[in-house]
Structure 1
């Protein structure tokens, strides 16, 4: 992730301001905001303070001939920057600096920015859908879910931004849609989709093909995982099958369908009796073994515990109350850029918060992060 590449993509974003009124270049403002979020800043005042403290450092990467923009300028500009253009710049930057490997899992999932809700302005909380590279722990792209809409309409727009060739795209039940499956295949990837009641024909076929007695005594390809963590034990039993006769008619509706899978999980707390088993169904256009299904299903949840958790706990995304104009959406993308940089720096073994504090104190380390 070379900084010149990021600066190049940021500089392409059109500046909406009248040229004769511009003192601070838009790419400088965006780059400074990225650096301050990497270093743990959360509000406009803190971003301005960082700029004054690190002005000589920032001038190594940008112009900053007029010094540091005020917090009022930062708030106004970030509220008016075209969010779609910043979104495209981010996705193109990731294409330039991140190569997806054949068979790599790309997890698609949504998240609500709770702090972006504003009752006084009758403004609902912002919802974002992100694509997460599980193997590398980086965000590949994200789009906002339009008001009065849902992930079904946002996912196709996100997929268009991505280079998915050779990947396995995993999506939860909301994204289990024929058009989405078709689009994934058209982009040279395979899909792994969770199945629930929103696709009743598929759900009925699973219940007919895999009754509990057959799942427990399955004679085909099966794989078991067992995890223990803080007194809780969770066992997951995975089985896969080719398309059986119960799915024959449906296979014409679902393009490229090759594998159907069942995941049955048991959870036990301490010495208590295990909870009732939870059963999940999946369909895939890839020829998956039970072990590969287990690995892909596990990696899909990395988007929760490695992306969403980091955004909320380390970068305090839900605590951010900024909601003016398009600022909430633009800052969400800045956080993704910052998180990609922080996760990309591997030499220092601290967590995200510790890396942020080190970057704030040590310009050499901040430069190392930007050179990853």
Structure 2
């Protein structure tokens, strides 16, 4: 028998080779990836968050935003560790009869990664403003607005049960009107707030591949060796703006703030650590005590106290450490 001239044998062998390689390279790894368990700290999505996930897919948010923290140093800004298959356990349920679980990983990084959006930006007010018109909170944003997720009502027609959005006057489509969030908008925000990277049980064994580039230091960080301006831009500027001007009705200004400029930085440090509820005039600020180290908080405070016309004495790491201990005692 001449193998090279037997067409049936050639086709059969090629087909079996193709089938074997397909199973080995595609099918078995796919089956293995399905055999994952959620991390102990993870919680199932609520009904509202699940509806928000559906709207997230419906609006095609993954066209611009990823949910995958790569194991490279530049992705440290988006998560405390590289992503795992377990991180997507509760989002792999079928959307409906015809649609499989959505692909949330994304491939375009036009906008920031959303893996840790719930920790990085937990405030509902910020997300609503950002969805209505991203330029209200991030002046340089190229993200499209989503006005169909909101309703414009005459101010006198707004109900007490309505969720009002504190849109600055220059962004209001009509004077004397109020922007009200729809159920869709509230569901989408609930889903975005739920995006929090769960801690790994035991010692972390997944680290980022370090970059060969050195991190520059900033003069406003004193001898802390940290760039306070970069840390501020990563954690604070989305609300308080890059120039410290804040946003009327939503986020207070830091430029000229009596709290920021005070000779005693204790209240400023405490607010950064545990957040602040300013709903009488502004929104609710999250605390950064569980996210940032004492050195990072001191660097941010120093940047705020020496920028935009502020001129106050530097904050030391020891002062931050003492206030952190004080806050812990208060919460016990």
Pair in the same fold by TM > 0.5: no
> By percentage of residues, which structure has more strand?
1
Instruction: Tell which has more relative contact order, 1 or 2 (C-alpha 8 A, sep 6+).
Output: 1
Q: TM-score if structure 1 supplies the norm length? A: 0.24
